[in-house]
Amino acid sequence: FLLSLKLENKTRGKLKKQICQVVLDHFEKQYTTELGDTWTSVRDVLTYPSCWQYAVLLNKFSQSTELENVLCAKGYHPAFQGPLPYIPASLKCYIKRTPGRFPAQKHQAGKLKEYYLLNAASLLPVLALEVKDGEDVLDLCAAPGGKSVAILQCASPGNFHCNEYDDLRSRWFKQTIESFIPNPLINLITVSKLDGRQIGDLKPELYDKVLVDAPCSNDRSWLFSSDTQQATLRLIRRKELSSLQLQLLRSAIKALRPGGSLVYSTCTLSKAENSDVINLILNSCRNVVPVDISEMAKATAQEFTFLSGMQQHEHLVLPEKGRAWGPMYIAKLKKM
């Protein structure tokens, strides 16, 4: 009996996420300066996983009306109900105000999953990208694959190129695609493991739309780093991320056709990795202009909290209780 009690306590300990103090101290210093009083309420959500919420993105390739009925019975409602500039009828995402997570589905070879669990704010870059049938699309940093899956819920691209440089993340991405996309369609997707910084030179002016969901300091996961040494190293290297993000954006611009547009997104609150990167691009690339995405923010303001004072081409989703989505930074640019 004592042994089983010990095992039970051990399991419970594993389930309870531990905050990494080194990271919290670093964030406290930076985000108090950048966000002021807003940081306090954001911190309360980020450091308290039991108040986190998870959205349920339905898979149109494995549709089930029964699932929609179950979600509605459990208090879920459609996430995007407002008059958005772009909201395909085939994109169905359900959320609820109370915390909690719908049961996840295991990967089974040859069987499609019915839904994908995600942070609802991660669908905003996809909505901002406005992919239409037949367009050539590049997802530059595609793993773990949620945004690629969402793009395919919205439209049927002509050529859909999904790239992931990291070997482990690339394998993760392939499994995600196999879980959600039927075989005939998978064959139409080009999956590569190229260095995203070189794609612009390798495939110049090939795409109508490019998504740059850049590697960033992932605030949510970093706060719960179990290895303090690794966390400290991450924080030291954090300054290098904006340089990588800039290089990825420059590559994405080269890969875009004139008239094409790109969306840049991160899951960090960090100004150095968000607005600063986009401002540097706008100031150094004469062939790129900002695109107003304020209508999207207005239409989704009921479900998401946006940081005030941002420019019209960018938005930052702030997590708050009852709307614990984000952090998610989104910016849209067009190539002239």
Q: What is the pLDDT of residue 109?
A: 82
Q: Is 16:289 a contact under the CB 8 Å cutoff? A: no
**Residue 197 belongs to some domain of the structure:** yes
Cα(321)–Cα(22) distance, rounded to whole angstroms?
24
- Domain range spanning residue 39? 21-52+121-335
**Residue 116 belongs to some domain of the structure:** no
Count of domains in the chain? 1
Could you give the 3-state DSSP secondary structure of residue 331?
strand
Q: What is the pLDDT of residue 316?
A: 98
**Residue 153 belongs to some domain of the structure:** yes
Residues that constitute the known binding site: 141-147, 164, 195, 213
The CATH number of residue 33's host domain is: 3.40.50.150
Q: What is the pTM of this model?
A: 0.94
pLDDT tens-digit profile, the chain (336 residues): 334 434 444 444 444 679 999 999 999 999 999 999 999 999 999 999 999 999 999 999 997 889 999 999 999 999 998 799 999 999 999 999 899 899 999 988 889 999 999 999 999 999 999 999 999 999 999 999 999 999 999 999 999 999 999 999 999 999 999 999 999 899 889 999 999 999 999 999 999 999 999 999 999 999 999 999 999 999 999 999 999 999 999 999 999 999 999 999 999 999 999 999 999 999 999 999 999 999 999 999 999 999 999 999 999 999 999 999 999 999 999 999
Cα(304)–Cα(178) distance, rounded to whole angstroms?
31
Residues that constitute the known binding site for S-adenosyl-L-methionine: 141-147, 164, 195, 213
**Residue 72 belongs to some domain of the structure:** no
**Distance of alpha carbon 313 from its chain centroid, rounded?**
17
Which residues, at least 6 apart from 104, have a Cβ–Cβ distance to it below 8 Å?
Answer: 117
**Residue 187 belongs to some domain of the structure:** yes
C-alpha separations of 200 from 57, 90, 121, 251 in Å? 31, 31, 28, 4
**Residue 322 belongs to some domain of the structure:** yes
Alpha helices in the chain (DSSP H): 2-15, 21-35, 38-46, 65-73, 124-129, 146-154, 167-180, 183-186, 199-202, 219-222, 228-237, 241-255, 275-284, 294-300
Q: What is the pLDDT of residue 122?
A: 98
Q: What is the pLDDT of residue 198?
A: 98
Structural tokens at position 90: 């085939």
DSSP per-residue codes, 50-78: GG-B-EEEE-GGG--HHHHHHHHHTT-EE
**Residue 234 belongs to some domain of the structure:** yes
As annotated, the active-site residues are 267
Q: Say how many C-beta atoms besides its own lie within 10 A of residue 271's C-beta.
A: 18
Cα(138)–Cα(140) distance, rounded to whole angstroms?
6
**Residue 46 belongs to some domain of the structure:** yes
Q: What is the pLDDT of residue 16?
A: 62
